[in-house]
Structure 1
Amino acid sequence: MIEVKGLTKRYGEVTAVNGLTFTVRPGLVTGFLGPNGAGKSTTLRMILGLNRPTSGSATIGGRPFVRHRAGLRHAGALLDAGDVHGGRSAAAHLWALARGNGLPRRRVGEVLREVGLEGVARRRVGGFSLGMRQRLGIAAALLGDPPVLLFDEPVNGLDPEGVRWVRGLFRRLAAEGRTVLVSSHLMSEMEHTADRLVVIGRGELIADESVADFAARGTGASVTVRTPDPAELAAVLVEAGARVRHDRASAGAGVLTVTGLSADRVGELAFERRIPLYELAPRAASLEQAFMELTAAHADHRTSALKAGGQAGWRDDGSSAASRSGARKEGV
Structure 2
Amino acid sequence: MIEVNELTKRYGDTTAVRNLTFQVRPGHVTGFLGPNGAGKTTTLRMLLGLIGPTGGSATIGGQPFRRHPRGLRHVGALLDAGDVHGGRSARAHLEALARSNRIPRSRVDEVLEEVGLAGAAARRRVDGFSLGMRQRLGIATALLGEPPVLLFDEPLNGLDPEGVLWVRELFRGLAAEGRTVFVSSHLMSEMEHTADELIVIGRGELIAAESVAAFAARGTRPTVTVRTPDLAQLTAVLSEEGAAVAPYDDRTLKVTGLSAARIGELALHHRILLEELTPQAASLEAAFMELTAESTEFLAGDAR
In which range does the TM-score fall when normalised by the shorter chain? 0.7 to 0.9
By how many angstroms is 1:244 displaced?
Answer: 3.9
User: Are positions 1:248 and 2:267 aligned together?
Assistant: no
1:8-44: CA deviation from partner (whole Å, max 9, x where unpaired):
0111111110000000000110000111110000000
Letter in 1 for 2:128: G
* Counterpart-to-counterpart distance in 2, 1:221 and 1:11: 39
User: Are positions 1:296 and 2:287 aligned together?
Assistant: no
| Counterpart position of 2:149 | 148
1:269-313: CA deviation from partner (whole Å, max 9, x where unpaired):
xxxxxxxxxxxxxx42221111011001011259xxxxxxxxxxx
User: Are positions 1:107 and 2:133 aligned together?
Assistant: no
| Counterpart position of 1:268 | none
| Counterpart position of 2:64 | 64
Alignment of 1:75-114 (within 5 A): 75-114=75-114
Letter in 1 for 2:282: A
Alignment of 1:1-332 (within 5 A): 1-119=1-119, 120-221=121-222, 242-245=261-264, 248-250=274-276, 256-257=277-278, 283-300=280-297
Letter in 2 for 1:112: L
* RMSD over equivalenced CA pairs, Å: 2.1
Unaligned residue ranges in structure 1 (runs of 5+): 225-239, 251-255, 259-282, 303-316, 319-332
SS in 2 for 1:243: helix
* Counterpart-to-counterpart distance in 2, 1:203 and 1:222: 28
- Number of residue pairs matched by the alignment: 260
Letter in 2 for 1:71: G
Letter in 1 for 2:94: L
* Counterpart-to-counterpart distance in 2, 1:155 and 1:222: 27
By how many angstroms is 1:248 displaced?
Answer: 3.1
Q: TM-score, normalised by structure 2?
A: 0.81
Unaligned residue ranges in structure 2 (runs of 5+): 226-258, 268-272
The percentage of aligned residue pairs carrying the same residue is 76
Contact kept? 1:88, 1:125, Cα under 8 Å: yes
SS in 2 for 1:121: helix
Contact kept? 2:29, 2:197, Cα under 8 Å: yes
Letter in 2 for 1:125: V
* Counterpart-to-counterpart distance in 1, 2:64 and 2:298: 33
* Counterpart-to-counterpart distance in 1, 2:200 and 2:26: 18
Q: TM-score, normalised by structure 1?
A: 0.75
